[in-house]
Each structure stands twice: as structure tokens, then as C-alpha cells.
Structure 1
């Protein structure tokens, strides 16, 4: 299916450039040129052309995906980082420092992956996350982990909300009219010419022509299909960087559940309210993405939303189920509003979904 969706670009390239390519081969290699012209409509409707393009495209895509999977399997190794705050460990291999290493995306991703594994490891591995700094007695480690993790969830939610917002059409907005002062007949005190009002900035003629050209192309049946943005393409682009958020949801929920029996100082409970609030917002926006993907699929077009959206919905729902089941009797003490508590009630009663 992915190959069929990308074949339109092959046909466009074939229609524009195949004539001189065929001429190059026939002039330099002893190959006879037969059949209809390749840059004609009948040339594009050739069954042989379609079968060759589909077979070679599928094969090349399979080889590329297989090579990418092998590279990811053998060249990427999960790291086991120190669960210490940056105040206690200056090493860049500390989890808190690696999570904030925006200059090294690979290290940052591996740190989030290791963070998601904290819930599946033993209590000894999680113990430093719930500890207090000495001297001082401050929960620096968990505060830094929670701040970076909640930032990932909030950032993804905001990007998805921006992608789901309808695009603003600036071309249809009414022109802004301004009352220009009339300086006719006035002279300045030195006897010079009257001052001229500042001219309003004008759009470049090239930009206006490009907008008109794009509008004309979008009204053409074939070219419009190539230039029109798919309904779910913007959410799919926003989800492209959502893998750390999936790891964060799993890691934070696991730490929250484990804190009930392992957190002796209560350093994690103060973050449960913001965590539940962030998870509810993410679940709501992911549901909108799912509905948009369903509408795009029923409409007969549109690229499918990546499978990461399904994984994020499942991870978010699992996190909400686990947290509400663990802290159900104490949800009202977490500073949540009545509306948020009502949205958590289906998860507490296992009726959501």
C-alpha cells in the first residue's frame, strides 16, 4: 500500500524525464526504441510499465526497510545509566543529565528508553529515584526526572493540538484599511516640502504570483491531488518525534505505582496530580487524532497515521488505569478539578474503552 501511494511521484518523474532518458540509452546503447511515446497518455497507461514500477518499487522498499531494521538491531544498544541527579553526579552518563542532552539526540533517546525500563527493574534500581540528596534532604533526582518527562508529554500534546487546528486562510481575510492623514497644503517650519506619509509595506510581486500559481495548480484535477495536503499528514508529522513521550508515559506511570510501597519520603506523590492531568490531555488529543485518521480512511485517501499513535493511546490508557487503580481512594487529595476527576472515573471503574 505504501508503494502504491508513492508511485504517483514515479509517474510524474517518468512523464517529465523519460523521453530524454530513453533517447540517451537508444543513442549510446544498441537498443531499439519501439511502441508508443513514453511522454504521452498512452505511454503512462501501459500495463507493463505499471507492473515493472510496482514490482521494482516493492522490492526496493523491502530491501531498504530490511536494511534499516538490521541497522537498528545491531547498531543500537540499550544503555544502563546511573539514576542520580546532576547535583550528585557530574558524569554525562547520569540519567538526569542524559535526558536533558539535547545536543546528542541519540544519547537522549537511549536515556528515555532506559527510563522506561525503571518500572520493570527491581526496587534496588528504582531506589535512587526516590532518595533525598545529602546533605540538604531535597528530592533533586525525582524532580529532574519528572520535569524532563512531563515536558516531553506536554510538548507532544501541544504539537498535536497545533497540527489538529484548522489552518488559517490569510488570503481570504479582509484587507486592513487605515486612515491616512492628509498633508496636502502643509509645509514644515523650514519652508520645505510637506512631509510624506510612510508607505504601507507591500507583498512581493513574486510571492503574489506564486500564490496564484499554487491556487491554479490546486484546482487542476491531477495536480491538485499531488499538491493537496492529506487530512492526517500534519498529526503524522507531529507524531514523528513522539517515541520519547511513549517511553516517558510508561516510565513515569511505573514509578508512580511503585512509589506507593517504595517511596518512603513521598517525593513522587507531589507529581501525581500534574502527571494525571498531562495524561488526560494527551489521551484527549490522541482520541482526536484517531477520529481524524478514521475519517481520512473512510474518505478513500490520506496517508495512514503511524502506528506510534496506537502505541501511545495504549500506553496512555494503561498508565491511567494503573494510576487510578493504585491511588483511587486518594485522587481527591491530588489537587485535581472536579472535571478532571470525572474524566478519571471511567478509568477507575474500568469502563473506559
Structure 2
């Protein structure tokens, strides 16, 4: 940083100071440009061993970093040309150094470019290692061994830990496609009792995930009219609608009316004195809400301080890979159950599964009306457009596989007319 000059005085080395300040600039530029804006993991389509991935990515990553460091180097050179002299004088006056005017050679800029490329390579290599180890497929246990362990059923819907949820959905897809032994564990009944606890818990969490995603998309698109649900919610463990169609089958989960009243509703009239403050508070809340809605009408206020529907839609699409793996895994499990499920534990939930997938597919069809996801602006936001197409195609493919497998029995499945009409557009034999 310093050298002896003008006798016994100490002068500031301009080249070293230039490189030190450039290191601060590189770290700040990387933090703003890359670290804040790119927080996601990319799962490979076909998983390979870690050494093969490292071998395939190191050299292209090194070449890419030399290109990425070019523009930050140019920006810093221009910025230092205007404020570099004042920075060096302030630094020298603070520590009692002298400054000498020394020309900056081309070699110092080459060093700046090379050091910037090495810094970017180290940062991207660290991100690559995180991506390499965190996206490795793992097998979740299908039942809890102790209270602290995580099983597949509860991990599928664990949105507070996104990496655990992603790995669980990926394991669900792999289980449905390749692991017949693990599928048999889901199709078995507990002893004693004879209840499909493993499948019921898994189906409940998967349907909850799909329904929450559908509701979030509907809210994000700022739907003004509340859409009426296609069918009434079908309980995963109490399918009451089967009583009408399958009277000859014995269903021990149904409750019979014995004429005994278990609960008696007691109504208690509230005193007018106690209800007056509550009524006043309700009127005050309604008044404040009307004022707030009027302020939002003012041009620009809602745009600056409100939630943009397109931004919320893009946030939903960022987690589209979870829906792709879940819908494909659920579809493959349902299709495999026709030959591997000896007790029919999956068929009882078939109406709820089909209805949830149809509702999700109809919600995804509405995304074509979002301006940011049309083909005309695909060049500005290619990731969201491709993710929308991928999620929509995965849900449609899942419905098609179920209809193809159960095509001869779809008339026996209790579905609403709206769902059957929509399924006929996908599979004309329904």
C-alpha cells in the first residue's frame, strides 16, 4: 500500500489502492446484481453423479466469469477516473501519507479484470456447490420413526422449509415412477385396524398443497367475482357420496342415525350494553375500509403501494416445479393403483383428486389473460412464460393419464357435470 518517497516520507501506492478499492466495488456489485436477485436452486432434469456435474460445469463457469467481470471492470474504471483522485487524497490525509501523480498503465486494468473474474468464479463456484449438494435426491421415510424425524407425507406440504418441500415432491415423483416396493407401503392397511393411514395422510397433504396453490393463483390474478366451487369438498377419509351409488358395498366409515342427539345447541342472547361497543367498532372498521378503498382509486397510489397481481403470479410460478412433481407423482400413483392396490384405498379419493387437478388446470388457463405472460412479451420474461407452460402441461398430462387408465370406469366415479365436461376436452372417451 505504501513506499518510501521524497527522502524518508511515506507515499501511497496508487496501483495497490486502485486494486483494493476495486475489490470493494466487485463485492458490492456482486451483492446487488447477483446475490439479492438470484436466490433459487435449479434441479437438473437428469441427475448425475457429483463428479460428473463438477467436471461438466467448471470450465464453462470459468469462461463465463471472465465475461461477467468485463462490464463491472469498465464501470469501475470510468467511476475511478472521476472520483479516484479525491478518494486517494482523503485516504492519504487520514493516515498521513503523501501522494504522487503516477500514470495508470494498461497492466493494472488487466489485473483488475483478472481479479474480478477470479472473485466471480469463487462466488459462483460456492453457489454451484450449494446447488450440487442441496438438489441431490433423497428418499424420505414413509412413516415416522420418532418425533423428530420427517416423513414424506408431512414434508410434501412443508412450505416453511422450501428445500425440504422440493426434495419431498421430487421423491414423490421418483417413488411413483420407479419404486414399486415403496408404493406397496402406501397401499397397505395398518394392522390392527385395517386403515390406510399412510395413503390418507399423503393424499390429504397433496390435495391441501394443490388447493392452496389454486387459491393463491386466483387471489394473485385479482379475480373480482368469487368463483363457485365445482363440487362440494370430498373428504379423503369419509366419502359420503358413495352411499348413493354403491349401496351394495359395505362402508364402515359411514355414520348411521340412531336417533340419539349427541350435542344440543344453546343460544344465549347478548345484552345490548355489551354489543354496543362491538357494533361501533364494526362501523368504524367499515368506514376506514371505505376511505382506504377510495384512496386506492387515486391514480398511482395503488400502483406504488399496493400488491401488483403480476408480481404475485410470478412469485407463484417460481415454485412451479413443486406442482409439476406433485401432480405427476400423484397421477402415477393413481394409475399404478389399478393394478397394485388390492384394497382400493386410492380409488375412494379419486373424485377429490380429479376435481383438484381440474380446478388447478382451469386456474392455469386463466394465466393466458395475464399481459406479462403472453407470447408478445415472452422475450422480456422467458422464465415465467416457460414455467407457466410447463406447469399447465404437467397438470394436463396428469389428468390425461388418469382418464386413460380409468377410461372404462369414469362413469362410475361420482363427478360433477362441469368436471366431466372439462375432462372430455382432454380425453374424448370420458
Normalization by structure 1: what TM-score? 0.62
Cα separation, partners in 2 of 1:211 and 1:286, compared to 1, 3 Å: closer
Separation of aligned partners in 2, 1:321 and 1:293: 28
Separation of aligned partners in 2, 1:22 and 1:253: 62
Separation of aligned partners in 1, 2:122 and 2:370: 32
* 1:25 equivalent in alignment to 2:84: yes
1:256 is aligned to 334
Q: Tell whether the 8 Å contact from 1:129 to 1:141 is kept in structure 2 after alignment.
A: yes
Secondary structure of residue in 2 paired with 1:79: coil
Deviations 1:202-257 (A, max 9, x none): 97xxx99x979983897xxxxx9xx9987733311222333322221011100000
- Deviation, 1:76, is 3.0
User: Cα RMSD (Å) of the superposition?
Assistant: 4.3
* 1:247 equivalent in alignment to 2:325: yes
**Stretch of structure 1 that moved more, 331-340 or 262-271:** 331-340
- Deviation, 1:158, is 0.5
* 1:340 equivalent in alignment to 2:412: no
Cα separation, partners in 2 of 1:64 and 1:212, compared to 1, 3 Å: farther
Structure number with greater Rg is 2
Separation of aligned partners in 1, 2:195 and 2:206: 19
Separation of aligned partners in 2, 1:332 and 1:245: 28
Q: Tell whether the 8 Å contact from 1:118 to 1:254 is kept in structure 2 after alignment.
A: no
* 1:138 equivalent in alignment to 2:195: yes
**Stretch of structure 1 that moved more, 297-306 or 257-266:** 297-306
Q: How does 1:263-282 map to 2 (within 5 A)?
A: 263-282=341-360
Separation of aligned partners in 2, 1:213 and 1:29: 50
Give 1:111's match in structure 2, choosing from 158, 165, 168: 168
* 1:74 equivalent in alignment to 2:133: yes
Q: Tell whether the 8 Å contact from 2:221 to 2:309 is kept in structure 1 after alignment.
A: no
1:92 is aligned to 149
1:50 is aligned to none
2:392 is aligned to 313
- Deviation, 1:108, is 2.9
Separation of aligned partners in 2, 1:104 and 1:233: 22
Q: Tell whether the 8 Å contact from 1:321 to 1:347 is kept in structure 2 after alignment.
A: yes
* 1:147 equivalent in alignment to 2:225: no
Separation of aligned partners in 1, 2:142 and 2:172: 9
1:174 is aligned to none
Q: Tell whether the 8 Å contact from 2:169 to 2:322 is kept in structure 1 after alignment.
A: yes
Paired positions, count = 266
Q: Tell whether the 8 Å contact from 1:150 to 1:275 is kept in structure 2 after alignment.
A: yes
Give 1:215's match in structure 2, choosing from 277, 300, 306: 300
**Stretch of structure 1 that moved more, 295-304 or 89-98:** 295-304
The unaligned stretches of length 5 or more in structure 2 are 1-32, 38-77, 90-118, 226-279
Q: How does 1:173-192 map to 2 (within 5 A)?
A: none
2:49 is aligned to none
